[in-house]
């Protein structure tokens, strides 16, 4: 068996052709970001509903929701900070 | 309290949750996941196969920043969900009963009450070095019916809580009938 030199991974050629011909990379990234942000929004709404309904009138509820929204928006802004949308 | 209405003369004595260390241990996987993208640039150059990809993990390109942002957003949301679940699980001791609130997951909640007049026995268990040092353990509350048992795992200062429960149990016991 012949030994081959190690090569770094590269995606199959047909995949590159398919992506470049039909869907732009920017659209794929945008779609992925939209899906993640929609999931985040839904999860956050459900969690906030539980906090407000079942938090036993705790003073922790609003700070917890506020911190979550603050950090999440920071991360969302960071994720969108590049010129991803082509 | 929205889950249960306090009776006239009933008051909340104690509200207990799991020990903070157990909560932190649930956060540990998220901490590892969060650190992963920052540790990759240091590890990838060590191997010739993975070295070409190290540049991606410097997060200078828009795509890499978007990937890192999404990765951290999902991790953070998971952490917050864990905290939400931790906070919504509680034991409430009132002057009349013990209320066990179990939030298994979103939209799955169980609230059960055990009146102190039915309590037969309260047992605490502290097993292991770390629980002994941190004073955390389990409490089992047994009723007259053998199949009814309230168990709360990993709560702080279990002996203190047992004493408080027993104090209120004794207050609810009927006075002994005089012997003739």
Judge whether residue A74 has pLDDT over 50: yes
The confidence score (pLDDT) of residue A1 equals 58
Locate the chain B residue with the closest alpha carbon to A37.
B70
What is the DSSP-derived secondary structure letter of residue B53?
Answer: G
With an 8 Å Cβ cutoff, are B69 and A76 in contact?
yes
pLDDT, average across residues B148-160: 86
Per-residue pLDDT reduced to its tens digit, B35-54: 998 888 888 778 877 777 77
- State the Cα torsion B78-B83-B88-B94 to the nearest 10°: 170
Residue A85: inside a domain: no
User: A67 is in which domain, residue-wise?
Assistant: 24-79
- pTM equals 0.80
Is the residue at A73 inside a domain? yes
* Domain spans of chain B, in order of start: 12-17+89-172, 24-85
Nearest to B81 among A6, A36, A43 (CB): A43
Query: Is A14 domain-assigned?
Result: no
Quote the ipTM score: 0.81
Domain B12-17+89-172 maps to which CATH number in 1.10.760.10, 3.40.190.10, 2.30.29.30, 2.60.40.10?
2.30.29.30
- pLDDT confidence of residue A44: 95
Report how far residue B168's alpha carbon sits from residue B6's, in angstroms, rounded to the nearest whole number: 16
Residue A15 lies in a domain: no
Q: B142 — alpha (psi -120 to 50), left (phi > 0) or beta? A: beta
Q: What is the rounded distance in angstroms from the CA atom of residue B3 to the CA atom of residue A76?
A: 35
> Does residue A68 lie in a domain region?
yes
Tokens of B129: 């070095």
For position B172, what pLDDT does the model report? 73
Query: Hey, what are A34's tokens?
Result: 């939209």
Least Cα separation, residue A6 to chain B (angstroms): 7
Per DSSP, the three-state class of A57 is coil
The number of domains in chain A is 1
CB spacing of A36 vs B74 below 8 angstroms: yes
Q: Is residue A3, in this structure, part of any structural domain at all?
A: no
């Amino acid at each position: 068996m012949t030994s081959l030199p190690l090569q770094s991974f590269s995606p199959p050629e047909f995949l590159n052709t398919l992506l470049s011909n039909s869907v732009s990379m920017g659209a794929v990234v945008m779609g992925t970001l939209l899906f993640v942000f929609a999931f985040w929004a839904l999860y956050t709404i459900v969690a906030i509903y539980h906090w407000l309904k079942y938090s036993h009138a705790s003073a922790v509820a609003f700070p917890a929701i506020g911190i979550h929204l603050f950090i999440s928006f920071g991360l969302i802004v960071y994720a969108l900070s590049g010129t991803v949308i082509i | 309290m929205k889950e249960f209405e306090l009776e006239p003369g009933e008051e909340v004595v104690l509200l207990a949750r799991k020990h903070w260390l157990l909560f932190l241990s649930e956060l540990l996987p998220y901490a590892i996941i969060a650190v992963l993208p920052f540790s990759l640039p240091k590890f990838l150059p060590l191997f010739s196969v993975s070295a070409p990809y190290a540049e991606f993990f410097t997060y200078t390109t828009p795509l890499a920043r978007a990937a890192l942002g999404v990765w951290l957003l999902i991790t953070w949301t998971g952490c917050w969900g864990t905290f939400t679940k931790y906070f919504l699980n509680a034991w409430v001791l009132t002057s009349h009963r013990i209320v066990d609130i179990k939030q298994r997951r979103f939209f799955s909640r169980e609230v059960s009450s055990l009146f102190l007049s039915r309590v037969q026995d309260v047992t605490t268990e502290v097993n292991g070095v770390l629980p002994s040092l941190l004073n955390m353990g389990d409490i089992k509350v047994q009723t007259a019916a053998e199949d009814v048992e309230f168990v709360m795992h990993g709560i702080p200062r279990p002996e203190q809580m047992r004493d408080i429960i027993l104090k209120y149990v004794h207050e609810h016991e009927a006075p002994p009938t005089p012997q003739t």
